[in-house]
């Protein structure tokens, strides 16, 4: 029995709940910080005298920070106890967001968003491992989804609040709010997550060796490409609503809330579906994603169609707990690096989606072209799933061994 499992046996259900709440609050801070700028894209553009596609590059800068920081910080922190590493990562995230709130110009905002993104992936990776270690094997995906619920609740509540605050005062207050939530997370993790000095710490070299396997790389490729479509559409949601659907600016926070409702639904369904179908759940989620993205340009022509379409777009988040738990299954010996790198993969999607959408919009194809680009990335993710499935069958010498749902 691992030390994390042994510690979980010693913790009461109430203590585990408080730990999950503390970890989820960190996800709430990260989710609010990552997505708030999407609802405030017109405000940031007007304040800094730049275009909306340039604000899309700011979004990509944060995502690039996640991609760079996730594997590097996971490896550098491999020798640290998980409690200490979580505190350091969330403290750095708070500083990056306070700096973003004070950014004087476009280039400095790009830099500070990159810095704020550095701890993102490593924090989520370690938090997921802590949560999964406290859960029975057949309920790990649900435990992962409970921590990820902080991210989805941020999209439901944090982002509309940040958008409302940014529209009423300044977009800078949104990032200051995120910094305060991050500091609260530091206090809660310090208070509720006990220090386990018997925790098994990994070797950076050992993790690197175990990490270099096809199933791990393919799982991350699925996240990097298959998930890009959601970000492609969502990054340009505010200008699409204003210029195509024809809503008033006050409708934008409501749209963010609708997206958050979809994310909460998708997060719960993703964990539930993976606990039952295992890796096959990923294929069904990608098929659903492609269908929703194909319908987005049609839905954007009407407020009444766009409202349920935004909820459906949010359900694409189901891919996150499914792929996260799959990586825990295939990344034996490299779980810390793989768990963190999964969030790097999703933020490659966060960079790729807005970048592709910005290129198409800048070429004069219109705001709704993001739906078609997104559907293409979801279908490419499905092709990568088929490749990963064949690799898994080949390594097993037979059909993939699936753990039965209990």
Do 163 and 254 form a contact (C-beta atoms < 8 A)?
Answer: no
3-state secondary structure of 233: helix
In angstroms, the first-to-last Cα distance of the chain is 20
Percent of the chain's residues with pLDDT above 70: 89
Burial class (CB in 10 A: 0-12, 13-18, 19+), 14: exposed
Q: Specify the DSSP element, H or E, that contains 370.
A: helix 369-396
What does the DSSP assignment read for 282-350?
HHHHHHHHHHHHHHHHHHTT-HHHHHHHHHHHHGGGGHHHHHHHHHHHH-TT-HHHHHHHHHHHHHHHH
Give the model's pLDDT for residue 199.
Answer: 63
Task: Please determine, for residue 182, whether its predicted confidence score (pLDDT) is greater than 90.
Answer: yes
Give the pLDDT band (50/70/90) at residue 137.
Answer: low
Task: Please determine, for residue 210, whether its predicted confidence score (pLDDT) is greater than 90.
Answer: no
Give the model's pLDDT for residue 217.
Answer: 85
Give the model's pLDDT for residue 276.
Answer: 81
Instruction: Express each pLDDT in 363-387 by its tens digit.
Output: 888 888 899 999 999 999 999 999 9
The most confident of 41-45, 90-94, 219-223, 320-324, by mean pLDDT: 90-94
Do 194 and 74 form a contact (C-beta atoms < 8 A)?
Answer: no
Look at 58-67, 255-264, 338-347 and tell me which has the smallest mean pLDDT. 338-347
Task: Please determine, for residue 392, whether its predicted confidence score (pLDDT) is greater than 90.
Answer: no
**CA neighbours within 13 Å on the CB side: how many for 287?**
6
Give the model's pLDDT for residue 7.
Answer: 52
Give the model's pLDDT for residue 1.
Answer: 40
Give the model's pLDDT for residue 203.
Answer: 62
What does the DSSP assignment read for 140-151?
HHHHHHHHHHHH
Task: Please determine, for residue 404, whether its predicted confidence score (pLDDT) is greater than 60.
Answer: no
Q: Specify the DSSP element, H or E, that contains 117.
A: helix 106-117
What does the DSSP assignment read for 162-226?
HHHHHHHT-HHHHHHHHHHHHHHHHHHHHHHS---TTPPPPPHHHHHHHH--HHHHHHHHHHHHH
* Dihedral sign (CA 154, 160, 166, 171): positive
Instruction: Express each pLDDT in 213-256 by its tens digit.
Output: 888 888 888 988 988 988 889 888 888 888 888 888 778 778 87
Give the model's pLDDT for residue 401.
Answer: 43
Give the model's pLDDT for residue 291.
Answer: 94
Q: What is the 8-class DSSP label of residue 158?
A: I
Give the model's pLDDT for residue 9.
Answer: 53
Instruction: Express each pLDDT in 44-59 by its tens digit.
Output: 888 787 877 778 778 8
Give the pLDDT band (50/70/90) at residue 160.
Answer: confident
Please report, for the chain, how many H helices and E strands are present, in that order: 20, 0
Look at 148-152, 195-199, 311-315 and tell me which has the smallest mean pLDDT. 195-199
Task: Please determine, for residue 263, whether its predicted confidence score (pLDDT) is greater than 90.
Answer: no
Q: From CA 267, how far away is CA 317, in angstroms rounded?
A: 6
Task: Please report the domains of the chain, with CATH numbers, ordered by start residue.
Answer: 3-396 (1.20.1250.20)
Q: What are the structure tokens assigned to 383, written together?
A: 């092709």
**Average pLDDT over the chain, rounded to an integer:** 82
Task: Please determine, for residue 73, whether its predicted confidence score (pLDDT) is greater than 90.
Answer: no
Give the model's pLDDT for residue 406.
Answer: 38
Do 134 and 307 form a contact (C-beta atoms < 8 A)?
Answer: no
Task: Please determine, for residue 138, whether its predicted confidence score (pLDDT) is greater than 80.
Answer: no
Give the pLDDT band (50/70/90) at residue 403.
Answer: very low
Task: Please determine, for residue 31, whether its predicted confidence score (pLDDT) is greater than 70.
Answer: yes
Task: Please determine, for residue 26, whether its predicted confidence score (pLDDT) is greater than 70.
Answer: yes
- Report the largest interatomic distance among the alpha carbons of the chain, rounded to a whole angstrom: 61
Any idea what the Cα angle at residue 229 is, between residues 37 and 255, rounded to 5°?
A: 45
């Amino acid at each position: 029995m691992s030390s994390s499992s042994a510690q979980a046996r010693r913790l009461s259900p109430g203590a585990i709940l408080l730990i999950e709440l503390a970890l989820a609050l960190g996800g709430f801070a990260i989710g609010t910080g990552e997505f708030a700028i999407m609802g405030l894209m017109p405000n940031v553009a007007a304040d800094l005298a730049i275009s909306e596609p340039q604000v899309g590059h700011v979004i990509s800068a944060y995502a690039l920070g996640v991609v760079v920081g996730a594997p590097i910080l996971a490896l550098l922190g491999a020798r640290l106890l998980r409690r200490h590493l979580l505190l350091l990562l969330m403290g750095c995230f708070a500083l990056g967001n306070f700096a973003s709130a004070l950014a004087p110009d476009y280039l400095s905002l790009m830099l500070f968003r990159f810095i704020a993104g550095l701890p993102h992936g490593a924090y989520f990776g370690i938090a997921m491992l802590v949560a999964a270690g406290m859960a029975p094997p057949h309920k790990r995906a649900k435990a992962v989804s409970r921590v990820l619920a902080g991210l989805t609740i941020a999209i439901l509540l944090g982002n509309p609040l940040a958008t409302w605050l940014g529209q009423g005062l300044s977009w800078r207050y949104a990032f200051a709010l995120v910094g305060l939530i991050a500091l609260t997370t530091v206090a809660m993790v310090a208070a509720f997550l006990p220090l386990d000095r018997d925790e098994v710490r990994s070797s950076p070299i050992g993790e690197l060796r175990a990490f270099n396997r096809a199933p791990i790389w393919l799982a991350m490729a699925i996240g990097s490409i298959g998930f890009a479509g959601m970000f492609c559409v969502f990054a340009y949601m505010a200008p699409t609503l204003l210029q195509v659907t024809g809503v008033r600016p006050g409708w934008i926070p409501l749209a963010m809330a609708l997206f958050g409702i979809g994310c909460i639904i998708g997060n719960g369904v993703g964990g539930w579906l993976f606990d039952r179908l295992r890796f096959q759940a990923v294929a069904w989620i990608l098929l659903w994603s492609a269908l929703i993205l194909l319908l987005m340009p049609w839905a954007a022509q009407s407020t009444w169609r766009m409202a349920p379409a935004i909820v459906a777009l949010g359900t694409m988040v189901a891919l996150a707990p499914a792929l996260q738990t799959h990586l825990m299954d295939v990344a034996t010996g490299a779980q810390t690096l793989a768990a963190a790198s999964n969030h790097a993969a999703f933020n490659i999607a966060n960079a790729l989606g807005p970048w592709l959408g910005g290129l198409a919009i800048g070429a004069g194809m219109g705001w709704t072209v993001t739906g078609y680009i997104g559907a293409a990335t979801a279908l490419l993710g499905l092709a990568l799933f088929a490749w990963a499935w064949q690799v898994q069958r080949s390594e097993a010498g037979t059909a993939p061994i699936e753990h039965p749902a209990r």
